[in-house]
Amino acid sequence: MDSLLGAVRQRVVSEIGEKVDEGKIAEAVEMAWTDLRPIAEMVRDALAGPPATIRGRTSKVGGDEDWRQATADNADELRSKAGV
């Protein structure tokens, strides 16, 4: 990450030249970011790793019965088991 920031800083300084002016700085930063953004995004994606795999139960309870309905029908029994 430090090398990427260094590259942006170096690019901005080289674009500005000897005369420092706020408008020129903003323009140089925008130009440097436009050029280096694909690299920054690639580094971000590499550090983030692969997408998460989330496992969950998607099958229905008792064959054709919808699990939400089964839970609603058994709510009192589930509460008593949980001590609620």
Instruction: Break the chain into its structural domains and give their ranges.
Output: 2-48
Per-residue model confidence (pLDDT) at position 81: 79
Residue 51 is classified by DSSP as P
Residue 35 corresponds to which tokens in the numbers above?
């050029």
Q: What pLDDT does 51 receive?
A: 78
Mind listing the pLDDT tens digit for each residue in 30-44?
A: 888 888 889 888 888
Q: What is the pLDDT of residue 64?
A: 53
pTM: 0.44
In whole angstroms, what is the distance from residue 51 CA to residue 53 CA? 7
pLDDT digits (tens, 9 = 90+) for 49-83: 887 777 766 555 555 556 667 777 778 887 887 77
